[in-house]
Amino acid sequence: MAAVTILADENIPFAREAFGTLGEVRLSHGRRITRDHLRDVDLLVVRSITRVDEPLLAGTRVRFVGTATSGSDHVVIDDLARLGIAFSSALGCNANAVAEYMAAAWLTMARRRTCTLAGRRVGVIGAGHVGALVVDKVRALGMVPVLNDPPKARETGSDAYRPIDELLDCDIITCHTPLTYDGSDPTYRLIGERFFSRLKPGAWFCNAGRGEVVDEAALGRALDAGRLDAAILDVWDHEPAIDGPLVARVDIGTPHIAGYSLEGKLNGTAMVYDAACRFLGVEPSWNAASAAPPPPVPQITIAAAGRDEVDVLTEAVTAVYPIARDCDALRRTAEMTPVERGQVFDDLRRRYPTRREFRQTAVAVTGGSSAMVGTLRGLQFRVP
């Protein structure tokens, strides 16, 4: 194999170790990659903050582009095809991490509101890789999913997928759609004034898909009018210079890190690395499983006798993923200027602390019911 040069986003874990088996690796901040950086680069590996299109790639040596993310709306695939450049994404790489984020958010809100989750109806908008695993968490917590996914409805003919209007009486709405502007089912501004005005009063609204799917001004008005009981946002319009007043207003707000578990990131690296190996016609020699360090919280013990189930579950989840930490870090940016807020937003993502998934932790429960143990297992904790 002829020597190749790879440029990778510096925020991709183990990029140097993995792609270094294929050639020379250069690392760069994803927002600072320009065409000048790519003139002698063969393989480009990015994350969602890098716009990849013909203006970036024309006149360069790039032959392969990979994004170590599940979403690919930052890549103009038609431009790549026109330039004869191969493309690969890491579809579904961080789906379980996003689903665990949602479980952590809902449990946190339930404890704050001193309410239960069991029996609540959850409208899941977008039932792809992420949405399907969110549904698993919904069911594990004793809630009832109602699915909306028009492309899947047409593809399968199944009545499991309902029109979006049938989600309006749900207790929780959670969005996990890609961002699309045209076609049969554009998602840009899918959720706006009309949706919020008809949504069940007191519902919780959540978005961990793409910020542009939601009209944030309409969301703000729904919060101000008291039509929503809570808002949980991980994605925002105009990232990274997001809206400060909305950051201050939402109940849980985080800097686009729902999928940022170490497992999710390693999956992304591995999927693009394997695709690059196939493109180059070489056997992979780097393995993601061997790269992961031991979990920082291998086991926890919880005394559950006489305690509310939400309280116990929240203790287990928070021991592994303290979602309030991420919310507090972003909320401190609310009073900053848009430029300052954007810089901190990117820095929070770049310096994100290691987060492991629930299945890496064993939970020993004393005095808990079999149902509680079943829920912990449903969330993928290891319970003896």
Residues classed as catalytic? 210, 239, 256
* Matching residue, tokens 């993923």: 321
Determine the Cα–Cα distance for residues 209 and 70; give it in Å rounded to an integer: 10
Q: Are 347 and 353 in contact (CB under 8 A)?
A: no
The contacts of residue 293 (CB under 8 Å, 6+ apart) are: none
The residues, ordered by sequence, that sit 6+ positions from 133 with a Cβ below 8 Å of its Cβ are 95, 96, 98, 99
Residue that the structure tokens 């103009």 belong to: 76
Give first-to-last CA distance, the chain, whole Å. 49
Environment class of 191 (CB within 10 Å of its CB; exposed 0-12, middle 13-18, buried 19+): buried
Peptide bond into 322 cis (omega under 30): no
What are the DSSP calls for 24-73, one per residue? EEEEE-GGG--HHHHTT-SEEEE-TTS-BSHHHHTTS---EEEESSS--T
> Residues 103, 109, 115, 119: what is their CA dihedral angle, to the nearest 10 degrees?
-30
Q: d(Cα 62, Cα 8) in Å, to the nearest integer?
A: 12
β-bridge mates for residue 122, sequence order: 145, 172
- Token readout for 247 is 């950051």
Residue 142 phi/psi, 5° resolution? 80, 15
Ramachandran sector of residue 319 (left: φ over 0; alpha: ψ -120 to 50; beta: rest): alpha
**Burial class of residue 266 (count of CB atoms within 10 Å of its CB; 0-12, 13-18, 19+):** buried
Q: What angle do CA 320, 321, 326 make, to 5 degrees?
A: 155
- Given a contact cutoff of 8 angstroms between Cβ atoms, the answer to whether 34 and 15 are in contact is no
- Residue 211 is classified by DSSP as G
Cα 196 to Cα 210: distance, rounded to the nearest angstrom? 18
